[in-house]
């Protein structure tokens, strides 16, 4: 259990401002007339105290209140170029930002949840006692912005007025971070007070890159103070470590789903996208995938792309499952983004129009950004996050595998801006879960019950990816959200079961697993090549769209429903004009029962180590296992879909 507002509020203890009177006199001393007047728009005293304490703690030379106006946005872009955090590229409105070589992904080992004595956190998370973190902030954040300008922005994580939208303050001395914040989030300066009043809470984030030197990175820290819904970040710039309105606040939002609105809300690491079905109907999907597993690509396959990373969900009074995207932009992995797989995104990256920040890619001699897998011949030379680069440097790739592009979603051709702005939220009819599984699960399977759907999410596994520094091996990734679930995993499981099982949710979603990573060798062929291609996703999502509306029948198996060959064959032709031989279908959808049972056993054992995990999860595993073993006894170890 998490107790809010418990323990020392570190930001106010280090800042030392305790009354609103002190806060106001500090603003008079520290802000120039223009920015003092701007800040006077904000009346919420708790928010003003947070801001005052951040100023008192960090001691910047100047304070800039970012109202989200075009003028402010242009100012920050200009300052970022002057300061050198970004540089221009050949194409107008495109810039490059380099993070330090040691700061190319989320620094898992330097990221901590601040805990009170006896507070339990997820078995997969790192924690630090409040006193220790307090000492770090006192020793490292006091005066960290001397010689710098502090930027303060007021944002809404979701459309203003939506039930699950949560306001947040972003404070940083980095122009790159603030530029990114403006591309990715809704500045709600004028609505901030009203939004805090509506929601009853807001998040606060304080970041400074300090001197921004490699030698300081070992002392960099990313802290989440869950009790006070405040993050701290130091000595780094990678957005996943610094723009904590993204994953830092997603962690707080997950706390809300577990400890404030259990059974009524969920905060997920999911894309949101719409598929157009027969007669133009739109069906919206929300899908989870661990970092670096193709979530952005899948999201953009939809006819109505909404977001690629996060979803704030709730149960509406009419019994539907609604979601909003807390973001309005994309901070997407750029490796392997090319014309064939990502036409919409490539248009933004290769043609003028969109405002784009590239990070940690190569810049060639013509000022053109280049990355591994961009589908073009290698450049003769260029500059990347390590310095000069030439193709003979075989140990250093042209671009970092976690290099990214940051842009507004509205720049993407198939984005539905009106739907992403709707405070009523989006009715979600399909939930998908994917991971990286080379040898076991078929490309698509649909849960027969809500609990079985929750079990699909609880059982995601993934290979380590470049998004996390130092990660290796195969990870358990329940709901693709474990890096961001601070609370006990058992509480998170409970929140999932309570949400999807809630009687108020009268329009239940279809819940499905997806797996794009089956290899030939796992299915009786040879080589580690994948059995499918990126673009096949059009078909998997297209089939789910039809299934959701009862327009196709499915085959029942112990693990859930799977598609029939004829329906897929038709969809392959219609959606991507591709041949789909039955032999491939058989390879993809045969049940390799020993593998599936081993996977269930592994998940069952892992969850049994979490004390108090719901019996409902184990019941799903037990039922599936028994049915699989019975099937094996009847039909053998490998069962073709045609034999079911
Ligand atoms: C991810 O790694 O899942 C991201 C980027 O979306 S980060 O902000 O680093 O989390
Ligand atoms: Mn993500």
The reported pTM is 0.97
Query: From the CA of 251, how far away is ligand 2's center (Å)?
Result: 12
Instruction: Write the pLDDT tens digit of every residue in 118-127.
Output: 898 888 789 9
**The pairing of beta strand 62-66 with beta strand 149-157:** parallel
Most confident of 10-19, 434-443, 462-471: 10-19
Under the banding of pLDDT at 50, 70 and 90, the label for residue 585 is very high
> Is 348 among the catalytic positions?
no
Please tell me the residue having the least CA distance from ligand 1 atom 5.
240
* Residue 280 CA neighbour count, 13 Å, CB half: 0
Nearest ligand by distance to the CA of 233: 1
Q: Per-residue pLDDT tens for 337-373?
A: 999 889 999 999 999 999 999 999 999 999 999 999 9
pLDDT score of 465:
72
The predicted pLDDT at position 380 comes to 96
Best residue among 291, 298, 329, 400 to mutate for probing ligand 1's pocket (most ligand atoms within 8 Å of CB) is 291
Ligand 1 nearest-atom number relative to CA 241: 9
pLDDT confidence of residue 589: 98
Does residue 361 contact residue 373 with C-beta atoms inside 8 Å?
no
Contact 359/403 with Cβ under 8 angstroms?
A: yes
Q: Of these residues, 236, 293, 348, 405, which one is catalytic? A: 293
Pocket of ligand 1 (CB under 6 A): 106, 239-240, 246-247, 291, 309, 331, 467
Q: What is the pLDDT of residue 265?
A: 98
Tens digits of per-residue pLDDT, 196-248? 999 999 999 999 999 999 999 999 999 999 999 999 999 999 999 999 999 99
Which residue among 331, 333, 434, 470 has the greatest number of ligand 1 atoms within 8 angstroms of its CB, and so is best to mutate? 331
Residue 462: pLDDT above 90? no
- Per residue, the 3-state secondary structure of 360-393, as one string, reads CCEEECCCCEECCCCCCCCCCCEEECCEEECCCC
Query: At residue 472, does pLDDT exceed 70?
Result: no
What is the CA 516 to chain-centroid distance, rounded?
Answer: 19
Q: Whose CA is nearest to atom 4 of ligand 1?
A: 291
Closest ligand 1 atom to 290 CA: 3
User: Ligand 1 pocket test: which of 247, 251, 299 has the largest number of ligand atoms within 8 Å of its C-beta?
Assistant: 247
Residue nearest to atom 3 of ligand 1 (CA): 291
The closest alpha carbon to 169, from 198, 201, 129, belongs to 201
Q: What is the pLDDT of residues 61-119, one digit of tens each?
A: 999 999 999 999 999 999 999 999 999 999 999 999 999 999 999 999 999 999 999 89
Ligand 1 centroid from CA 318, angstroms: 33
Of all protein residues, the one whose alpha carbon is nearest to atom 10 of ligand 1 is 240
| Gyration radius from the chain CA atoms | 25
DSSP H or E segment with residue 427:
strand 426-434
d(CA 430, CA 302): 13
- Confidence class for position 294, pLDDT limits 50, 70, 90: confident
Model pLDDT, residue 1: 79
* pLDDT above 90 (res 474): no
> Which domains are present in the chain?
10-85+104-259 (3.40.449.10), 265-329+417-643 (3.90.228.20), 331-410 (2.170.8.10)
- For the chain, give the percent of residues with pLDDT over 90: 92
Residue 277 contacts residue 538 (beta carbons within 8 Å): no
pLDDT value at position 636? 98
| Alpha helix positions (H), 61-201 | 70-83, 130-140, 175-184, 192-199
Nearest CA to ligand 1 atom 7: 240
Give the whole-angstrom CA distance, residue 247 versus residue 233: 12
CA of 364 from ligand 1 middle (Å) equals: 26
| Segment 518-573, tens digit of pLDDT | 999 999 999 999 999 989 999 999 999 999 999 999 999 999 999 999 999 999 99
Q: How far apart are CA 67 and CA 189, in angstroms?
A: 6
Please tell me the number of the ligand nearest to residue 330's CA: 1
| Residues forming beta bridges with residue 155, ordered by sequence position | 168, 187
Best substitution site from 233, 289, 467, 470 to test ligand 1's pocket, by max atoms within 8 Å of Cβ?
A: 467
| Residue 470: pLDDT over 80 | no
Note the ligand closest to the C-alpha atom of 240.
1
- For residue 581, give every residue at least 6 positions away whose Cβ sits within 8 Å of its Cβ, in sequence order, or none: none
Of residues 495, 402, 473, the one with CA closest to residue 122:
495
Answer whether 115's CB lies under 8 Å from 121's CB.
Answer: yes
Dihedrals phi, psi of 330, to nearest 5 degrees: -125, 130
Nearest CA to ligand 1 atom 9: 240
* pLDDT one-digit tens code per residue, 319-333: 999 999 999 999 999
In DSSP notation, 200-212 reads S--EEEEEE-TT-
Percent of all residues in the chain with a pLDDT value above 70, rounded to a whole number: 99
- Mean pLDDT value across the chain: 96
**Length of the chain (residues):** 644
Residue 468 has a pLDDT of 82
Indicate the SS3 state at residue 15.
helix
Dihedral sign for Cα atoms in the order 133, 134, 139, 140: positive
d(CA 177, CA 190): 21
CA of 558 to the centre of ligand 1 (A): 34
Residues with CB under 5 Å of ion ligand 2 are 291, 309
Spacing, Cα 247 to ligand 2 middle (Å): 8
Poorest-confidence range of 3-17, 91-105, 290-304, 359-373?
290-304
- Examine the pLDDT at 136 and tell me if it is beyond 90: yes
The pLDDT of residue 175: 99
- For ligand 1, atom 1, the nearest C-alpha belongs to 291
Q: Please state, as a whole number, how many other Cβ atoms lie within 10 Å of the Cβ of residue 179.
A: 25
Strand order in the sheet with 387-389: 369-370, 362-364, 382-384, 387-389
Q: What is the mean pLDDT of the segment spanning 181-188?
A: 98
């Amino acid at each position: 259990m998490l107790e809010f507002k418990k323990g020392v509020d570190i930001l106010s203890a280090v800042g030392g401002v305790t009354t609103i009177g002190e806060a106001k006199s500090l603003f008079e001393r520290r802000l120039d007339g223009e920015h003092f007047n701007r800040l006077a728009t904000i009346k919420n005293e708790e928010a003003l105290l947070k801001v005052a304490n951040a100023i008192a703690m960090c001691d910047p030379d100047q304070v800039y209140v970012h109202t989200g106006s075009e003028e402010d946005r242009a100012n920050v872009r200009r300052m970022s170029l002057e300061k050198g955090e970004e540089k221009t590229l050949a194409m107008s409105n495109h810039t490059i930002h380099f993070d330090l070589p040691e700061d190319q992904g989320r620094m898992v080992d330097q990221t901590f949840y601040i805990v009170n004595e006896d507070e339990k956190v997820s078995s997969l998370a790192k924690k630090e006692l409040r006193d220790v973190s307090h000492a770090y902030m006192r020793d490292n954040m006091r005066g960290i912005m001397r010689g710098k300008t502090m930027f303060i922005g007021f944002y809404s994580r979701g459309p203003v007025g939506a039930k699950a939208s949560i306001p947040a303050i972003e404070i940083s001395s980095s122009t790159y971070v603030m530029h990114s914040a403006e591309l990715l989030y809704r500045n709600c300066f004028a609505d901030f007070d009203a939004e805090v009043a509506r929601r009853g809470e807001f998040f606060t984030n304080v970041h400074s890159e300090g001197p921004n030197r490699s030698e300081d990175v070992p002392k960099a820290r990313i802290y989440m103070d869950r009790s006070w819904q405040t993050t701290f970040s130091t000595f780094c710039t990678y957005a996943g470590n610094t723009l904590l309105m993204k994953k830092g606040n997603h962690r707080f939002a997950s706390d809300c789903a577990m400890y404030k609105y259990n059974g009524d809300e969920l905060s997920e690491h999911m894309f949101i996208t719409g598929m157009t079905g027969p007669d133009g109907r739109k069906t919206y999907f929300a899908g989870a995938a661990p970092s670096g597993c193709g979530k952005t690509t899948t999201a953009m396959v939809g006819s109505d792309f909404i977001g690629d990373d996060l979803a704030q969900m709730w149960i509406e009074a009419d019994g539907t499952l609604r979601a909003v995207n807390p973001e309005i932009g994309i901070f997407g992995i750029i490796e392997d983004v090319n014309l064939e797989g990502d036409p919409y995104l490539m248009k933004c990256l290769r043609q003028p129009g969109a405002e784009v920040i590239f990070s940690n890619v190569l810049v060639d001699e013509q000022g053109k950004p280049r990355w591994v897998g961009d589908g073009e011949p290698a450049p003769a030379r260029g500059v990347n996050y390590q310095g000069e680069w030439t193709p003979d440097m075989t140990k250093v790739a042209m671009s970092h595998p976690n290099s990214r592009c940051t842009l507004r979603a509205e720049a993407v051709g198939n984005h539905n801006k009106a739907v992403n702005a709707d405070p009523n939220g989006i009715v979600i009819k399909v939930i998908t879960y994917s991971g990286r599984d080379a040898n076991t699960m078929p490309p698509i399977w649909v849960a027969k019950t809500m609990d079985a759907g929750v079990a699909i999410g609880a059982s995601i596994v993934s290979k380590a990816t470049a998004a996390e520094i130092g990660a290796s091996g195969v990870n358990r990734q329940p709901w693709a959200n474990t890096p961001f679930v601070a609370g006990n995993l058992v509480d998170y499981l409970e929140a999932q079961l309570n949400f999807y099982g809630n009687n108020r949710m009268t329009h239940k979603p279809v819940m499905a697993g997806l797996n794009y990573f089956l290899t030939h060798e796992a299915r009786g062929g040879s080589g580690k090549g994948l059995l499918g291609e990126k673009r096949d996703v059009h078909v998997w999502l297209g089939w789910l769209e039809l299934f959701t509306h009862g327009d196709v029948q499915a085959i029942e198996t112990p693990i859930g429903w799977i598609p029939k060959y004829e329906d897929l064959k038709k969809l392959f032709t219609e959606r991507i004009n591709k041949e789909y031989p039955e032999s491939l279908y058989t390879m993809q959808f045969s049940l390799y029962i020993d593998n599936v049972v081993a996977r269930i056993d592994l998940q069952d054992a892992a969850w049994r180590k979490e004390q108090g995990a719901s019996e409902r999860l184990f019941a799903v595993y037990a039922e599936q296992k028994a049915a699989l073993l019975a099937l094996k006894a009847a039909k053998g170890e490998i069962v073709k879909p045609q034999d079911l």
